[in-house]
């Protein structure tokens, strides 16, 4: 059974992630980066946070940072489709299904 402290930590992680996602969806990328980094402090294995950071860095035209985030995503989830596609695009591997 999860103790209360662990349960609160989970809730805090979810709340911070919701805030981060809200900023991301509203194109407030710097605020989103700060919040996703907080998520990763709470849970260093949060796949969604790494992948979202990759998308944000890509939007901000920071391909090197984006690559690092996609690589971390794939270390945690080797079949992550979003990270795989975006990383391939950044390193110039063309997917057959895309132009």
Average pLDDT score over residue span 53-69: 97
Q: May I ask the CATH class of domain 7-91?
A: mainly alpha
Which residues, at least 6 apart from 85, have a Cβ–Cβ distance to it below 8 Å? 95
- Return the percentage of the chain with pLDDT > 90, whole number: 81
Distance between CA atoms of 31 and 21, rounded to whole angstroms? 10
Which DSSP string do the residues of 29-56 spell out, in sequence order?
A: HHHHHHHHHHHHHH-TT-HHHHHHHHHH
| Single pTM value for the model | 0.84
pLDDT band at 33 (very low <50, low <70, confident <90, very high): very high
Residue 82 has pLDDT above 80, yes or no: yes
What are the boundaries of each domain within the chain? 7-91
Neighbours of 66 (CB within 10 A): 23
């Amino acid at each position: 059974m999860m103790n209360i402290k662990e349960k609160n930590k989970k809730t805090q992680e979810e709340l911070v992630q919701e805030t981060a996602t809200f900023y991301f969806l509203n194109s407030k990328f710097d605020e989103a980066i700060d919040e996703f980094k907080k998520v990763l402090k709470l849970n260093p294995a949060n796949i969604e946070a790494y992948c979202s950071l990759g998308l944000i860095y890509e939007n901000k035209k920071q391909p090197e940072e984006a690559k690092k985030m996609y690589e971390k995503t794939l270390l945690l989830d080797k079949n992550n489709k979003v990270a795989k596609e975006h990383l391939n695009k950044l390193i110039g591997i063309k997917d057959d299904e895309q132009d």
